[in-house]
Amino acid sequence: MSVPTLSRTVQRDPGHEFGFELRACRWAELAWPPATAASDDTVTVIARQLGTKRRRWDTIVLECDPEALSRRARFGPDRLDSDLLHIVRNAPAEWTYYRDALPYPGYPWRYVREAIHRADDRGSIETRKSGNRIEIRRKWAYPDWLERIVAIENKPDLDASAARALGAQLEYDVAMGLADEVWVATRTTGDTVEPALFEDLPVEAGILTLEPESLTADVVWYPRTLAVDEPGTRILERPEGGARDASAARFEYVDPETKADTRLAIAERAYERGWRSFVDTMRPDCRHFQLRARGATQALPYCAATDRCQTAAECGGSCPHFEPEPPTWRTRGWPIEGGPGKRLQQLLAERRRRRRPGL
Ligand code: SF4
């Protein structure tokens, strides 16, 4: 994520957007959907930094059928990739030769056999040999747990240049129609009319203003529901030369079946990762790594060496301030249980798990 050039405020530290994003995730976990009148019996799964090869969203809200989400837990906390989904969604109730049971996937059957063994290893289906044929049988039907995908872009300081970059990304989302809704979350300014409304964003995108300290949000513009069941238009290239550039945009169509498969693959990744997985790519084993309480219910990463919230990109192997935890911090179970950093990871993993009913 780029750090915007700020017109209203001074340049912020790099952890500013990252901290805002984590606050937005926590707010969504507590308060989604934002419409006050909504009577909603869906449950949500929140994740961050997921999407496709061409487009990654900051925050993702999965609106799920509660009962089906509990049944999804039978397949374990790890995601089912597209090969495994092909198996579990088509596995029959009775023992059947796998080539008779599964639709031809468009790639060689030996890869299907490999996926069958993986599905068996993780307890998602049953297999047996009949002569030299592999037969499969489902243990549970894969539930239809995903109802809607909502994508939120977080821009705490939405000035004109940030809005221009974001506008192009949101136009891509609207044309593709992969998410049911797209939103921009920006920091509350307290102005009579929020400045975000004056920026050149697609009208299909919703705008909400978030106060990260109090974790309260207001909707200043409601989004349109996008046509996820219709063919999408993937914008491959657009004229970049300003008003005098007469070159044509390049695009391609994406059929609804491909979109549906992509949506489910994204949802499975979101189910596995949640949004607290940020710690997985950071260095909680560094002596400067801390989690600091923000509000009553959230812990944000904090670097004691730089005295601020650090980004996941900064907090990696190349950080010049990295220092390993002193061995004396470690528990008696070291090296099996690890030190305080390991315990912070376990704490976040436990919180992530608690948000998945049925696990
Ligand atoms: S010093 Fe570097 S590695 Fe250590 S917590 Fe801070 S940012 Fe992370």
pLDDT tens for 205-228 read 999 999 998 999 999 999 999 999
Asked if residue 184 lies in contact with residue 170, where contact means CB atoms within 8 angstroms, the answer is yes
Report, as an integer, the average pLDDT of 178-202: 90
Decide which of 258 and 38 is more confident: 258
Q: What is the position in ligand 1's atom list of the atom closest to the CA of 287?
A: 4
In angstroms, the CA 49 to CA 152 distance is 10
* 356 class by beta-carbon count within 10 Å (0-12 exposed, 13-18 middle, 19+ buried): middle
Report, as an integer, the average pLDDT of 330-358: 71
Residues of the chain with CATH 3.40.1350: 15-65+145-276
CATH number of the 78-138 domain: 1.10.10
What are the Cα distances from residue 249, in Å, to 168, 252, 320? 13, 10, 43
Residues of the chain with CATH 1.10.10: 78-138
* 245 class by beta-carbon count within 10 Å (0-12 exposed, 13-18 middle, 19+ buried): exposed
In angstroms, the CA 181 to CA 72 distance is 23
Q: How many residues does the chain have?
A: 359
In angstroms, the CA 284 to CA 316 distance is 10
Q: Is the pTM of this model over 0.75?
A: yes
Q: Is the CB of 303 under 6 A from ligand 1?
A: yes
pLDDT 10s digits, 301-310: 999 999 999 9
pLDDT band at 246 (very low <50, low <70, confident <90, very high): low
302 CA to centre of ligand 1 in angstroms:
9
Q: What is the position in ligand 1's atom list of the atom closest to the CA of 288?
A: 5
Task: Judge whether residue 123 has pLDDT over 80.
Answer: yes
In angstroms, the CA 141 to CA 131 distance is 27
- What is the pLDDT of the chain when averaged over all its residues? 88
* End-to-end alpha carbon distance in the chain: 33
211 CA to centre of ligand 1 in angstroms:
27
CA triple 215-266-207, angle to 5 deg: 35
In angstroms, the CA 134 to CA 106 distance is 19
In angstroms, the CA 37 to CA 162 distance is 32
Mutation probe of ligand 1 site: the residue of 288, 300, 308, 325 with most atoms within 8 A of C-beta: 288
100 CA to centre of ligand 1 in angstroms:
54
Closest C-alpha residue for ligand 1 atom 5: 289
Q: Is the CB of 308 under 6 A from ligand 1?
A: no
> For residue 244, what pLDDT is reported?
65
In angstroms, the CA 193 to CA 329 distance is 51
Report, as an integer, the average pLDDT of 193-208: 89
> For residue 240, what pLDDT is reported?
67
Q: Tell me the CATH architecture of domain 15-65+145-276.
A: 3-Layer(aba) Sandwich (3.40)
Q: Is the CB of 298 under 6 A from ligand 1?
A: no
Q: What is the position in ligand 1's atom list of the atom closest to the CA of 301?
A: 5
Mutation probe of ligand 1 site: the residue of 280, 315, 323, 329 with most atoms within 8 A of C-beta: 315
Q: What is the position in ligand 1's atom list of the atom closest to the CA of 282?
A: 8
